[in-house]
Chain A
Amino acid sequence: MNIVEVQQVTKRYGDFTALDAVSLTVPQGCVFGLLGPNGAGKTTLIRILMRISCQDEGQVLFNGHPLSGEDVYDMGYLPEERGLYKKMKTGEQAIYLARLKGLSRDEAYTRLCEKFEQFGMMEWWNRPVEELSKGMQQKVQFITTILHKPSFLILDEPFSGFDPINANLLKEEVLKLKQEGTTIVLSTHNMASVEEICDHIALINRSRKILEGDIFEVKNRFKKNLFSVETSCCPDELVRLLQQQYQICSQKSGDYYTRFEVQIPETKTSNDLLGLFMQYGDIHSFNEILPTMNDIFIEQVEYANQQSSHEE
């Protein structure tokens, strides 16, 4: 079941095309990483999903039906550029924002107290927002984003501006929401957090989607048959054979071990490699090295840019 389906969506601002026939699907209950370089069109896409702006062509389906105004109450959005009314009291403001999302005053109050308690912010309830630290303001904002328990949540760069402790708190909160069944779209440049919490990703570059899929599947798609092997001894014979049949990417020797990074050519399998090592000593570890999201991001974006410059 897909909660959101974007079909051939195009958005133009004057002569500039911000989104060019972008299609992607967000499966229900996953954390979906929306990736792309600055200015690629991520925010434009998010704004279309939130019905802040409207696409010129194509359509967006939400739970199978075309996105409508009512759906917005089932969505939460934490924009990249965050702000609150500076002079308004924190608690009052949070209640106001929650009520705009359709909660009753009492409901908003009860849930807020709970969240404020959890984030240790109760004492700030009656202070104007301008007296809060930046991180604290971010927390307030995150709380107001999820307070109405949306089934679809968009977080644009949620980790920026947080210290490691609070970033972790936020990460746990995101994973908890996922467990509760919330679908989360995460737009970020922080690839480490993508690896950690995303299930699906889509990569947008220069207004076009260039990559989409399950994160494990994507990594496998771009794997280079690279294996890391740690063995107890390393006779010259082994090194010679490896050089002949495989390709050694790196070799590192310690007192009691040697570690190789070996790329397997298409004619061989990992079992062949393992068999070779087994003849020469004890194997401490043997595992495949999958490309990091960081590598894939850089490689794919550069590849796409080359392609498009060839076209021109």
Chain B
Amino acid sequence: MKNKTFLIISREYLTRIKKKSFIIITVLVPILLVAMIVLPVLLVSLSEQQQFSRILVVDESEIFINNFKDNANYSFSYRSGNIEQIKNEAFDQNYDVVLQILSNSQAMKSNIYYKKNLPSGLQSEVENQMDDIFFNQLLKDSLKIDPVKFEDMQRLAKSESVTIQIDENGVEKERDSTINQLFGMFCGLFLYFIIVIFASQVLRGVLEEKTNRIVEVLISSVRPMQLLVGKIVGIALVGLTQMAIWAVLSMTILVGLQFAAPNLFTPGTVEEMPAYSSTGGMLSESADLSVSPDNIFEMIQNYFPVSFGVIIFCFVFFFVVGYLIYSTLYAATGSVVDNESDSQQYTMPITIPLLLAIVFVPTISTNPDGALAFWLSMIPLTSPIAMMVRLPSGVHAWELALSMGLAVAFLVFCIWFAAKVYRVGIMTYGKKPSWRTIFRWLRET
């Protein structure tokens, strides 16, 4: 008998794994995921490695002459005279840009002349430098303050704070709650999508067997329960396989990138990224950090109140339990209707809690210990998602255990419910059963 269930599992699994759409999605998602991480870094580093620009300054106000600072990307030269004539000559002399500063000093106005294209960032670089120079000029002339001293004072007056969480054991750790929140939201949404995707595959599978009537042949060979278990387990394995491949592929691509472009993840570039800028303190402490994936893990490890292993374990746990809850209920739904559009009437009561969980994801993530977050992470239909959102920000062990326990208890109920409904439902055609009829099925043995 067990053999039959295994046979059904392997059919459900293999037919799905062999589909083109499965292969495409399995390959595409990690690429997109890595692209999402790498592209911003790449863009930042590309903009830093921009072409070198030579700028010819024609300063009619005479405030800025020799005050621009050359740096890695820009060099400044100065000339005075007729702007038209200089413009004509400058581009032939390999200058990329001619900067004309107008003499009206009330408002610092300037024109930037260029041919072909203006290097990105050049305009803001020029404006910033002009602001600084003009400000220093004002300090010196109007307030009689030495700009160098002023800069020192400014540096002295700068404050810097680090957020530190003290955990239950009294250990202090530097934290950045925004990262936790973002990561939590990502986990919750991701879990939502995969639960819905795979649970609705169960619904469609049950419906397929029912509408093409093969179910009658199958039921004459195996028990309905074996068929149901085979389908649900088979599709769950498809989901787990897909996630495992995603994880491995993403890692491979990241490691591959590491070798192909070792400088991509150097702290310098990372620090430029807006998302990481607030973690500057930590990065500077370990300045020699050349980020290999191991170090990324260490970095994550340092930053989450919950260990990464626990997060992965919980993710898989809540995927499995959440998927099982929804797929058994969906299977029961699929068995009582004759076509997919009718199924919505019955799935509504179970999809509404799921949608609620999604709607409240931002609220939960900003206030992970609030009452709403707590209750949503206890109610079994919403708990997988709500708990995953809360988890990266740290959750009491008893809350996690209670949430898991409630989910499992509810799952047992769902299995009982689905088994009863499914057995009768798959053999019933035509009229859609009312809720009362379904309750009668439940009472019958």
Contact = CB atoms under 8 A, between A and B. Distances in A.
A124 interface: no
B7 interface: yes
Nearest to A77: B220
Contact of A84 (B11, B15, B214): B214
Nearest to B227: A100
B136 to A, nearest CB: 75
Contacts of B427: 47, 52-53
Interface stretch (A85-93, A211-219, A233-241, A256-264): A85-93
Given A47-B427, A83-B212, A85-B214, A52 B219 contact: yes
A80 to B, nearest CB: 9
B109 interface: no
Contacts of B212: 83-86
Given A47-B427, A52-B219, A53-B427, A100 B4 contact: yes
A66 B158 CA distance: 90
Given A83-B212, A85-B212, A100 B219 contact: no
A297 B300 CA distance: 80
Contact of A96 (B11, B223, B440): B11
Contact of A52 (B7, B208, B220): B220
Nearest to B10: A96
A154 to B, nearest CB: 9
A117 to B, nearest CB: 23
Interface string B238-265: 0000000000000000000000000000
B208 A97 contact: no
Interface string A218-242: 0000000000000000000000000
Interface in A29-88: 47, 50-53, 69, 72-73, 75, 77, 79, 81-88
Interface string B201-224: 000000011011111111111110
B7 A83 contact: no
B213 A100 contact: no
A139 B249 CA distance: 45
A120 interface: no
A88 B218 CA distance: 15
Nearest to B215: A83
A99 interface: yes
Nearest to B19: A87
A164 interface: no
A160 B214 CA distance: 17
Contacts, number: 61
Nearest to A154: B220
Interface string B1-27: 100100110010001000000000000
A14 to B, nearest CB: 7
A189 interface: no
A100 B208 contact: no
Contact of B216 (A81, A85, A96, A101): A81
A79 B7 contact: no
A100 B222 contact: yes
Most buried by A among B1, B220, B437: B220
A88 B208 CA distance: 12
Nearest to B424: A53
Contact of A100 (B15, B218, B437): B218
B214 A83 contact: yes
A82 B213 contact: yes
Given A52-B219, A52-B427, A96 B213 contact: no
B440 A79 contact: no
A79 B221 contact: no
Contacts of B213: 79, 81-83
A69 B1 CA distance: 10
Given A53-B427, A88-B15, A99-B7, A79 B208 contact: no
B335 to A, nearest CB: 14
A206 to B, nearest CB: 20
A72 B11 contact: no
Interface string B147-184: 00000000000000000000000000000000000000
B376 to A, nearest CB: 39
B411 to A, nearest CB: 27
Given A53-B427, A87-B15, A99-B7, A79 B218 contact: no
A61 to B, nearest CB: 19
Contacts of A85: 15, 208-209, 212, 214
A98 to B, nearest CB: 9
A77 B15 CA distance: 25
A96 B220 contact: no
Contacts of B216: 52, 77, 79, 81, 83
A53 B222 CA distance: 12
12 contacts: A14-B440, A52-B216, A52-B219, A53-B427, A75-B220, A79-B213, A81-B213, A85-B209, A85-B212, A86-B212, A100-B7, A100-B221
Given A72-B221, A85-B214, A145-B217, 6 more contacts: A51-B220, A77-B217, A79-B213, A83-B217, A100-B221, A141-B217
